[in-house]
Structure formats: C-alpha cells, structure tokens
Chains A and B, each alone.
Chain A
Amino acid sequence: MSYKTKEVLRKLVVHGLLCIIVAFCLFPVLWMSIISFKEVGESITGFNALRIQSPTLANYKRLFELIPIWTNLLNSAFTSIVGTVTTLFFCSLAGYAFAKFDFPGRNALFYFVIATMMISPEVGAVPMFVIMRRVGLVNSLWSLIIPRMATAIGIFYLRQYMLDIPDAIIDSARIDGCSEFGIYRRIVVPIAKPALASWASITVIARWNDYFWPLLYLRDSSKYTLMVSVSMLPVSDGLSTPWQVVLAGTTLVIVPSIILYLVMQTYQKSGQVAGAVKG
C-alpha cells in the first residue's frame, strides 16, 4: 500500500468511527423529541416511532395539565442559578486563600479538603434529613443551595488555576493599599474568569440535573424541581401516562441544558475544565 492510500484509509476509519459514535450520542435525544410530537393513538413500536403522520402539540398540553410546569421550572432555575453563583463565590474565595496565602496549617487544611473530595455527602442522607428538619429547611429550595455553597472539588479546581496568578500583581496591589477582599474582587476574579466560567457551566448543568437531594427534601408538587416532577410522570396520569407525554416531559428537561451547553461552547474552548487534572 502506498503512503497515500494509507492516509486516505486512515481518514476514512477516523471519520467513519466518529460518525457512528455521534449517532449513538444523538440518537436517543432525537428519538425522544420526535415521539413527543406524535399523537397518542399512533404506533410508537420500534421503528414506527420515527414516522410522524400528524405532528401535534397535544402531548405538551397534557403535560401542562398533569404537573405545574411553570412553578417547577422556576424552582429548577432558581436552585441552579443561585446555587451556582453562591458556590462560585465561596469556592473561589477559599481557592484563592489556598493558592496565594501562606498561613499556619495551610497544607494540613488543603490535604483535608482533598481527602474529603471523594466522600459524597449523600452517604449521610439520614442525618442530613434530620438536620434539615431541625433547621426548618425541609420542603424549602434553600435546602438544595446552602449545604453545597462551598464544595471541596470546586475549591480544588479553582485553586489549581489560581496558582498561576503572578504574586507580583497581588503584592503591588497590596502595597497600593488595596484591601484583601478588594484584591480578590478586582484582581483575582477577573484573572480567573475562564476557570470560573467553565466551573460555572459544569455546576449549573449538574444542579439542573440534580435528582437525589430534591427527591429527598422537597415534599409537595409546588416545591418540586422539574427533575422530580418529570421522574414521577409515568405514574402521574392514573399510573399509565402515555409514552408520548412522558417523552414530552423529558424533552422539556433536556433541551434547556443542551441549549445552555451550546451557548457556553461558543464562549469557551472545550477541555478547559479538565485542566484541573495534571497529566
């Protein structure tokens, strides 16, 4: 085989394989959104699912009758956005302290942060529920925000990025009489913007997709996040909600996160998040 045919063959294999992989990635999502526009009477068996005879919005209308979509949507948006903003603030503050200050016990505390990174708080769900009931946060959206306002993994990630901020800038600001919080706000935050942006996008999507904690803490449908309401869809309509309606619900959950992801993609290079992991 000549060098040229080998090159062409390699190109073919790479693109072919990737196209198959992309098909597997996109197919379930496309399939779901197609079915959500099918009439309830139409066949959704196997490949018939992909043939729409008369596209309809009836499934979405039914969905709005079954669950309080707008309220749930608002709850999801509120917890995702407020949760992300607070966690960014407190994680970057702590990350900055670990990256740029020298203080007694720093290394011990940082080891401690890393050691706790892997223990997920979910294992303490029983006492967590007791604590939340004690402080009156059961059935409150704040129960989803407050415990995760500062997370070990967030601190670790932002600290790795902030290590590269030159000390000279910080020191000269200090000499100019800038307050410590002022240095954080005016110098550290602007420099760390790319890291903050990628961490924000990961967090906001993770919070939107969160299921365990809302399921545990939220007790009535007006407090549910969208994820909880949608998970209960199969049994909301007299135990057998038509699949078309269930898939209309899942479409409503997934489409916003995809849009958000695509928008963020245009602002930042992918792969940046992985920068936290040194090779």
Chain B
Amino acid sequence: MWETLRKHRHPYLFIAPYLILFLVFQLVPTIATVYYSFTEWNGLRPPRWIGWRNYQLMMNDYMFSNAIQNTFRYWIVGAIGIMGLSLLIAVLLNSKVLRSKQFFKTSTFLPYVCASVAMGLIFRMLFEEHAGLVNEVIVSLGGSRIPWLTTSAYAWIPVVILFIWRLTPWFTMIILSGLLNISDEYYEAATVDGASGWQQFLRITLPLLNNILFFCFITITVDAWRLFNESHILSGPGTSNTSLFELMYTSAFTNFKLGYGSALGVVLIVILLGISLIQFMVRRRTGEI
C-alpha cells in the first residue's frame, strides 16, 4: 500500500488539490444538504430534526410547483430555441459562400461574453410595459401592449429569451467545431448522386453531429436547472417566473428557512445526478471515456 503510494506519489500529489477541494467544498456540502433537509433551522438556533416534514411541505407548496413548472419551461423552450438557433448559425457560418467569416464568427459570439446580470437589467428595460422597445415595436405593427414583467402569465418569456440569447453562441461554437470535422468528401459524393442541400443536411450533417448534439442537450439541461441570474434580475410578480434554484436561494437566504431551502437543494441534486448518470452511460457506450 505505502509502497505503491510512494512509487506513484507524483500523480497522486498532482491530483490531491482537486480531491481535497472536492471533499471540502462539494462532497461535504452535498451530504450536509441532505442532512439539513430533514431539519428546521433558521440559522441562529441549532437545527432541529423534523423528519420528512420539509418534503411534505414542499408537496403542498404552490411556490414549489410554480418553480418546477417554470424551470421545466426554461429547460424545454430553452433547449429547443438554443439547439435550433445554434445549429442554424453554425451551418451558416460553415457555408462555403460566406465572406468575412471572422467578423461574423466574432460578432455572433459576443452575447456569450456579456454578463447575464447586466443583460437582465437591459432586458428589463426592453420589456418594460410602457416605455420598452419590444412593446413599441408590437404597437407599431398593430398589436397591443403586453405587460411582460408585471403579470404572471408572461413573466417567464423575457427570462427564456435572455437565456437563449446568451447561451446560443456557446453552442454555436461547439456545433461549428463538429461541422468542421465532417469531411467534404461526403458532401461531394452526395452532390454527385444528386442529393439536395436539405437532404444532405438531414442525411449527412445531423447523423454525424449526433454525439455533439447530445452533449449540447445535456449541457443546456444542466444550465436550465441551475438557472438563477436571469430570473432573479427579471423577477415577475410573486413566484410567477422563479426558477427552482432561485426558490432555494430565497427560501434559505432571504426567508432564513435553511432546512426547507436544503430540501429544495436535494431535489436539485437528485435531478442533476440523474442527468449526470445518463450522460455518463452514453459517453461510456460511445467509447468516449
């Protein structure tokens, strides 16, 4: 035992910082979250064990069901929007006829660089009911003003638009790198055989991007379930557009219900673990790791 440790001390030493940090700042907090989720705790007095009560409360909490519903929406609408747009932009950027490629690449990546908090403030103004540009455009097209952030029904829309706007560039870049790996020969052969551009996209591009698209979907899923900044800055009335993650933050650190907040944290842990497991199995099956 000691002999192997000594013999391989260098790699172990190189990995040790990660393992220690992981232990202290990830494993311990994760396990502690599970423990706290069974307690009632306001941060001042010591936590009191109350069994499954927090989870029972959760089942009857309309704020929890709102948050789940909202996050689900952000996930599905976000994934469809981001994947669709980034695929489109990547294909356009990869087009043979495109001039000044570098300019288009650089400027379509810019949204990803912009802080979501700052963009949230800007979107808040763009979606303002009476002065915002979005309503101004709608009115000039003959529609009527929409109370985006002041009614429950619409409040989730600006959040998901910001989510899509900011993350699309990242996935565009990943998909573009996948497109660059597809050999031209496939397309040349298909053109000789008389396949149209659309057929080539469906029969060659999409199947060969399979792995990358799957990776993108998983990453978007994780990003959607941990969405916080966007809905925190673009908050609508009550919990109308609160994400699950934001609900955890406000329960624990604004309302000081640390036990209940931890229970929400456990729900998130379970969801993320599930996603992680799926991607792990798929990666293993495709021989990536």
Q: Is A21 an interface residue (CB 8 A)?
A: yes
Mask of B46-68 contacts with A, CB within 8 angstroms, 1/0: 00000000000000000000000
Tell me whether B26 and A93 are in contact (CB under 8 A). no
A118→B200 CA distance, assembly (Å): 34
A202→B24 CA distance, assembly (Å): 25
Size class of A's contact patch?
35 or more
Tell me whether A101 and B8 are in contact (CB under 8 A). yes
Identify the closest chain B residue to A14 (Cβ).
B95
Tell me whether A126 and B36 are in contact (CB under 8 A). yes
Identify the closest chain B residue to A147 (Cβ).
B25
Identify the closest chain A residue to B246 (Cβ).
A212
Mask of B16-30 contacts with A, CB within 8 angstroms, 1/0: 011101101110111
Q: Is B80 an interface residue (CB 8 A)?
A: no
A to B CB contacts below 8 Å, 6 in the list? A46-B133, A93-B14, A124-B32, A211-B116, A270-B105, A270-B106
Tell me whether A279 and B212 are in contact (CB under 8 A). yes
Tell me whether B36 and A127 are in contact (CB under 8 A). yes
> B118's contact among A21, A126, A230, by CB below 8 Å, is which?
A230
Q: Is B248 an interface residue (CB 8 A)?
A: yes
Q: Is B206 an interface residue (CB 8 A)?
A: no
Tell me whether B89 and A126 are in contact (CB under 8 A). no
Tell me whether A120 and B226 are in contact (CB under 8 A). yes
Query: Given A14-B92, A243-B125, is A205 in contact with B130 using a C-beta cutoff of 8 Å?
Result: no
Tell me whether A31 and B18 are in contact (CB under 8 A). no
Tell me whether B4 and A104 are in contact (CB under 8 A). yes
A22→B93 CA distance, assembly (Å): 12
Q: Is B201 an interface residue (CB 8 A)?
A: no
Tell me whether A234 and B121 are in contact (CB under 8 A). yes
* Max chain B Cβ within 10 angstroms of own Cβ: one of A209, A260, A265: A209
Tell me whether B133 and A22 are in contact (CB under 8 A). no
Q: Is B77 an interface residue (CB 8 A)?
A: no
Tell me whether B33 and A126 are in contact (CB under 8 A). yes
B residues near A111, Cβ cutoff 8 Å = 280, 289
Query: Given A94-B17, A125-B252, is A32 in contact with B113 using a C-beta cutoff of 8 Å?
Result: no
A residues near B76, Cβ cutoff 8 Å = none
Identify the closest chain A residue to B251 (Cβ).
A126
Q: Is B231 an interface residue (CB 8 A)?
A: no
Q: Is B186 an interface residue (CB 8 A)?
A: no
A150→B22 CA distance, assembly (Å): 8
